Structure 1
Amino acid sequence: MSASIIILYYSRSGATQTLADAIADGVLKAGGEPLMRTVTGAGDPASQRDLEISQDELKQCDGLILGSPVRFGHMASALQQFWEQTSVTWLKGELEGKPAAVFTSGSSMHSGQESTLLSMGVPLLHHGMLLCGIPYTEPAIQQTQSGASPYGASHVEHGHGKHLTEHEYQAAVALGQRVTVAAFALKTARTQGKL
């Protein structure tokens, strides 16, 4: 049995994409299949590398990890617009009971990362997804001097550009692993008729 985890993100400078790649490493380490997907914003492709997500892919995933740069304490408008077009998926409960998590990148320590992470969780909760964070038992959360929080993976660009610190990388990998392990457990429970 495999678990497909969509890593859906928007990135313009490449920092959020770098964080998405670290999360994908965690998905792979846990035995899952990371599907890197993006959205288009303001008429420009946000990623030259990854495909734009389709509604069919969204409903077929076993888990979802959502990422955005900080936009005044909120997700990028391209991602918000995407979620506003998921009413049919919401009405059918196609994401219900699947694990999810969030990640972000910002220009400084006080750029609004935590509020961005929390606000990105709102549409996922409305879809009935099970939101995963990073527990304090993860050493990178306790040791970080830059990004990473219990609400999700994060990166502080100031002084680092798009390159992650070691603790940011470790937290992102841990988040990818956590969602993947949850996806396997929930998928197994569904196939056994326990959910």
Structure 2
Amino acid sequence: MPYILVLYYSRHGSVAQLAEALAAGIESVAGIEARVRTVPEVGPGFDKAIDTIPDQGPLYCTPEDFAGAAGLALGSPGRFGNMAAALKYFLEQTTSSWINGQMLGKPATVFTSTTTPHGGQESTLLSMMNPLLHHGMLITGVPFSEPALHSDYGGGTPYGVSHIAGEQHQNLSAEVAKLATGQGKRLAHYSLRLLNDH
């Protein structure tokens, strides 16, 4: 069965909650499934060797998981208005997929969470789009036809769903969860339509 890769990095669990909501939206569409994956920590004090089985949570993503996906949902917390280093490090290892055009014409979407309301959510989402555009992927977002985009002040954005976690790393609001589920469902529909066109 074709799958959409839900690839994310999460330090405190908020981005992981968004990933689960997007995956639920994908899984609600018949004929396609969600493959949820994460990436290991990078930087001083962390072993750069990527194990295939982390201590807990989803498996670490492999180049094969990435290249074989029918679509991609990419998530990261905001780091000074940019994606987290761990996710960027993984994407920098996808040169082979880029050279071979393995992601060309596949749909992609992005999502994020920050601690503060002005934590650079939209620039973080845009930073995740850059490598996907280089891969030739088709970027989808959250259209303003989504009522929750107008009613919720704890996240949103047309660039992709976002969440304001606060210092206590609060759970997703009902509106944000609904936006994330809808974003996953929309990505699944686009992925199937593009698969059927080829």
Deviations 1:124-182 (A, max 9, x none): 01000000000000111111111111000111012772400011001101110111000
Give the RMSD, CA atoms, in angstroms. Answer: 1.6
Give the alignment of 1:116-131 within 5 angstroms: 116-131=124-139
Query: Which residue matches 2:183?
Result: 175
Aligned to 1:152: 160
Evaluate the alpha carbon distance shift between residue 108 and residue 47 of structure 1 in structure 2; reply closer, same or farther with a 3 A threshold: farther
Counterpart-to-counterpart distance in 1, 2:78 and 2:55: 17
TM-score between the two structures when normalised by the length of structure 1: 0.93
Work out which of the residue numbers 97, 105, 130 in structure 1 matches 2:105.
Answer: 97
Q: 1:164 aligns with which of 160, 172, 175?
A: 172
| Structure 1 segments (4+ residues) deviating >6 Å | 44-47
What is the Cα deviation at residue 107 of structure 1? 0.4
Does the 8 Å CA contact 1:22/1:169 hold for their aligned counterparts?
Answer: yes
Cα distance in 1 between the residues matched to 2:138 and 2:64: 20
Shift of 1:4: 0.5
Structure 2 counterpart of 1:193: none
Letter of the 2:158 counterpart = P
Could you list the runs of 5+ residues in structure 2 that have no partner in the other structure?
none
AA aligned opposite 2:134 = H
Equivalent AA in structure 1 for residue 6 of structure 2 = I
For 1:96 and 1:162, how far apart are their aligned partners in 2? 37
Q: Is 2:12–2:169's contact at 8 Å kept on the other side of the alignment?
A: no
CA–CA distance in 2 between the matches of 1:18 and 1:151?
18
1:139 is aligned, of 147, 166, 174, to 147
Partner of 2:195: 187
Kindly state the Cα deviation for residue 93 of structure 1 after the two structures are TM-superposed.
Answer: 0.4
- Name the SS for the 1:178 alignment partner: helix
Provide the C-alpha distance between the structure 1 equivalents of 2:176 and 2:16, rounded to a whole number of angstroms: 13
* TM-score normalised by L of structure 2: 0.91
Residue 22 (structure 1) aligned with residue 21 (structure 2): yes
Give, in whole Å, the separation in 2 of the partners of 1:160 and 1:180.
32
Q: Deviations over 1:87-130 (max 9, x none)?
A: 11101100000000000000011000000001100000100000
Q: Which amino acid aligns with 2:38?
A: T
1:105-124 matched pairs, under 5 angstroms: 105-124=113-132
Unmatched 5+ residue regions in structure 1? 191-195
